[in-house]
Structure 1
Amino acid sequence: MEKRYFTIAEVQEHTTVDSCWIIHERRVYDVSAFIQRHPGGEQMIVQRAGTDVSRDMVGPPHRHSSNAHRWLQQYYIGELSTGGGQDEEEIFSQKKQAVRERNTASQGSNSVMDARCKSVDPDNDLVDWNKPLLWQVGNLREKYDEWVHQPVDRPIRLFYSDFVEACSKTAWYMVPLVWTPVVIFISWYCYTELAQGNTQLFTSITKEYSIPVHKYCFPFLFVLGMFLWSLVEYLIHRYVFHMKPPASNYYLITLHFMLHGQHHKSPFDGSRLVFPPVPASLVVVLFLAAFHLLAPGAVGMSIFVGGLCGYVVYDMIHYYLHYGSPKKGSYLYGLKAYHVKHHFEHQRLGFGITSRFWDYPFHTVIPEEIFEKSH
């Protein structure tokens, strides 16, 4: 394919949220589809629209990872023309600040961009993207770990069966749509059970001493369930989702890719960012059965429903960290930057999604970096 060349004036015509071009090492990129995904917030890209970001990419104050540089290549559209000579370069330099100021008004835009899924060169990749990947990744063996942590911006197909494939994907709004009524119903059931005043704690251990559990205890049990979920969230993410399968074990590699590897390979596949309701139902039933054995009655159910609510919050936050554009300085802004660093630089650290809390006692906190201040 013949290369396209753009003048600086042409690049500076694309300085909005809907059409955002940048220059990096004299190559031109259309990053419109990436703006909302940028961990530093969309304003940091819009402020630099139409300009050369080569120095910004290498820092200081923030050095972009090799994955970030490679990710940028997916938005390549052409080369910067040198036909304009030195005069054009001077014009470009003089207009740089004016472009940033002109685009300040568009920083608050929250429009949604369509993902741009670039085709994969079959000669340079280790799998055939025209076929379901789940049955191929196990054959990568010792190359799997490096391959799965080199993200691409394109959807993934796992299964041959259309029905099974559909069950493995879901829209984000299906999670609250399915589970919020369940949380409300179980909460109502637990509260009414406790309100009867017949619930006793530890009656199965000794009948001589028991603690009555009143309806006023329900909020505390609910919050306890949410807190316990945050620990479960961390442990699953670290020890299950980020297990390192042996290179010789085809089945463990396949299982890892199905559970979480596919998310790291394609972190912006919107249909795979939350847990589909069908497989989620099986996991929820297993947790419910475990709680029934460990803490039968309304007390155990109250803790369980708090954990179920924590799961819903977790899935919604996880989706937002990938597609949302939180306000700079907010709690979610910090979480988004933290989670994106987990994807692109520190895959063996930063396992907390809704909070960094458990990363501290388990010593998996991602090292702090200095993020660039908005101008």
Structure 2
Amino acid sequence: MEKRYFSIAEVQQHTTIDSCWIVHDRRVYDVSTFIQRHPGGEQMIVQRAGRDVSRDMAGPPHRHSSNAQRWLQQYYIGELRQDGDQEEEEEFAQKKQAVRERSTANRESNSVMDARCKSVDPDHDLVDWNKPLLWQVGHLREKYDEWVHQPVDRPIRLFYSDFVEACSKTAWYMVPLVWTPIVIFFSWYSYTELAQGNTRLFASITTEYFIPVHKYCFPFLFLLGMFLWSLVEYLIHRYLFHMKPPASNYYLITLHFMLHGQHHKSPFDGSRLVFPPVPASLVVVLFFAAFHLLAPGAVGMSIFVGGLCGYVVYDMIHYYLHYGSPKKGSYLYGLKAYHVKHHFEHQRLGFGITSRFWDYPFHTVIPEETFEKNH
């Protein structure tokens, strides 16, 4: 890759949200597309635009992780000009047209990946980014765990089939659009069933004594469902999404990448931040059947619909933690910084998404001192 050189005066001309350049170790980066995603908020970058951030990234108080340092390299655009760089800059200018033509040809011939993709070094990566990744990752074997936790800023294609690929992706608004009407309908159904006054619960499995369940119990059953979902959310994230597949098992590695590994590899792929409705519907049906067996009738339905609402809230919060800009000091601001730490430094800790509650009893909370100093 030919080097391009910039004077400090040129760098200082790019100090806005729309065009934001920074310098780190005499290398120039255009971080305009990253500003909104920064866990510390937009202003923390904008205030440092046009200048060297080496000391800020090294800390204290905010020492950035090795993954954060690596992530920065994706926005590299050139070097800060030094003595003797003029000749190299002129050489770059002569080659600029040829490079542009070659890049254009590559984009035209590459119909698989998004033209906006950025990569650190695709020629030396362990996979071929011009092909679907799902069938490649299993061959990484013992290298998979380290590779999948080195995030990149580019979209991922999983399948060869355009139809299957489309089913594996979705826009964030499809989640509330599909599931909110279902939550409303089943909430109404459960409430009206309880309102009839015919719902009873056994007080003891050894007697025939029943406890009536009134319609006023619905809000509490609904909230119980949301609370139970928060536990399910934690357990799925920790034990399924973050299972460590054996290096020798191609199929488990492939399954892990499909379920969650692809999200850690490309945490800002907006089309894969929420669960697509098609596969989600299969999981919802399984949970519905389980609740119907364990707690039939309006009581079980009330708890189930609360859990379904909890899922919708979870997916929306997860999307916001990646793309939102919460106000500094707010609850969501803390969650965003906490979740970014999970992605970039503590992949084996911090499994709570909507809250850190379950991280405490399961002893997986990110240490507070590390969290404050390193994010």
TM-score (norm 2): 0.89
1:29 alignment partner, SS class: strand
CA contact (8 A) 2:4 2:89 kept: no
Alignment partners' CA distance in 1, 2:149 and 2:142: 13
CA contact (8 A) 2:134 2:258 kept: yes
CA contact (8 A) 2:342 2:349 kept: yes
CA gap 1:215/1:91 in 2 versus in 1, 3 angstroms: farther
- C-alpha displacement at 1:81, in angstroms? 1.3
CA contact (8 A) 2:112 2:131 kept: no
Give the alignment of 1:14-93 within 5 angstroms.
14-82=14-82
Cα deviation, 1:327-364, whole Å, max 9, x if unaligned, reads 00000000000000000000000000000000000000
- C-alpha displacement at 1:2, in angstroms? 2.8
- C-alpha displacement at 1:4, in angstroms? 1.2
CA gap 1:127/1:237 in 2 versus in 1, 3 angstroms: same
- C-alpha displacement at 1:311, in angstroms? 0.2
- C-alpha displacement at 1:5, in angstroms? 1.0
- C-alpha displacement at 1:87, in angstroms? 22
CA contact (8 A) 2:23 2:53 kept: yes
CA contact (8 A) 2:62 2:373 kept: no
Alignment partners' CA distance in 1, 2:97 and 2:227: 47
Moved more, 205-214 or 165-174: 205-214
CA contact (8 A) 2:126 2:140 kept: yes
CA gap 1:166/1:94 in 2 versus in 1, 3 angstroms: closer
Alignment partners' CA distance in 2, 1:105 and 1:124: 21
Q: Which runs of 5+ in 2 are unaligned?
A: none
- C-alpha displacement at 1:119, in angstroms? 3.9
Aligned to 1:308: 308
CA gap 1:373/1:92 in 2 versus in 1, 3 angstroms: farther
- C-alpha displacement at 1:204, in angstroms? 9.3
- C-alpha displacement at 1:208, in angstroms? 2.5
Alignment partners' CA distance in 1, 2:298 and 2:247: 46
CA gap 1:359/1:89 in 2 versus in 1, 3 angstroms: farther
- C-alpha displacement at 1:368, in angstroms? 1.6
- C-alpha displacement at 1:97, in angstroms? 38
Cα deviation, 1:204-256, whole Å, max 9, x if unaligned, reads 94662111000000000000000000000000000000000000000000000
Cα deviation, 1:290-330, whole Å, max 9, x if unaligned, reads 00000000000000000000000000000000000000000
Alignment partners' CA distance in 2, 1:33 and 1:226: 35
CA gap 1:187/1:199 in 2 versus in 1, 3 angstroms: same
- C-alpha displacement at 1:121, in angstroms? 3.5
CA contact (8 A) 2:74 2:120 kept: no
CA contact (8 A) 1:17 1:106 kept: no
1:23 alignment partner, SS class: strand
Aligned to 1:188: 188
Alignment partners' CA distance in 2, 1:88 and 1:293: 73
Aligned to 2:250: 250
Moved more, 98-107 or 244-253: 98-107
Q: Say how many residue pairs are matched.
A: 375
CA contact (8 A) 1:186 1:305 kept: yes
CA contact (8 A) 2:291 2:304 kept: yes
CA gap 1:279/1:97 in 2 versus in 1, 3 angstroms: closer
Alignment partners' CA distance in 2, 1:110 and 1:176: 34
2:369 alignment partner, SS class: coil
CA contact (8 A) 1:18 1:32 kept: yes
CA contact (8 A) 2:4 2:92 kept: no
CA gap 1:205/1:338 in 2 versus in 1, 3 angstroms: same
- C-alpha displacement at 1:93, in angstroms? 29
Moved more, 86-95 or 291-300: 86-95
1:84 alignment partner, SS class: coil
Alignment partners' CA distance in 1, 2:53 and 2:112: 23
Moved more, 105-114 or 262-271: 105-114
CA contact (8 A) 2:17 2:46 kept: yes
Cα deviation, 1:57-97, whole Å, max 9, x if unaligned, reads 10000110000000000000111112599999999999999
CA contact (8 A) 1:62 1:369 kept: no
Q: Share of identical aligned residues, percent?
A: 91
CA contact (8 A) 1:346 1:366 kept: yes
CA contact (8 A) 1:197 1:213 kept: yes
CA contact (8 A) 2:3 2:92 kept: no
Moved more, 142-151 or 4-13: 4-13
Alignment partners' CA distance in 1, 2:112 and 2:247: 39
Alignment partners' CA distance in 2, 1:371 and 1:106: 42
- C-alpha displacement at 1:107, in angstroms? 35
TM-score (norm 1): 0.89
Moved more, 103-112 or 299-308: 103-112
CA contact (8 A) 1:178 1:277 kept: yes
- C-alpha displacement at 1:202, in angstroms? 1.9
Alignment partners' CA distance in 2, 1:337 and 1:104: 38
- C-alpha displacement at 1:109, in angstroms? 37
Q: Which runs of 5+ in 1 are unaligned?
A: none
CA contact (8 A) 2:338 2:371 kept: no
Please provide the CA RMSD for this pair.
8.2
- C-alpha displacement at 1:369, in angstroms? 3.8
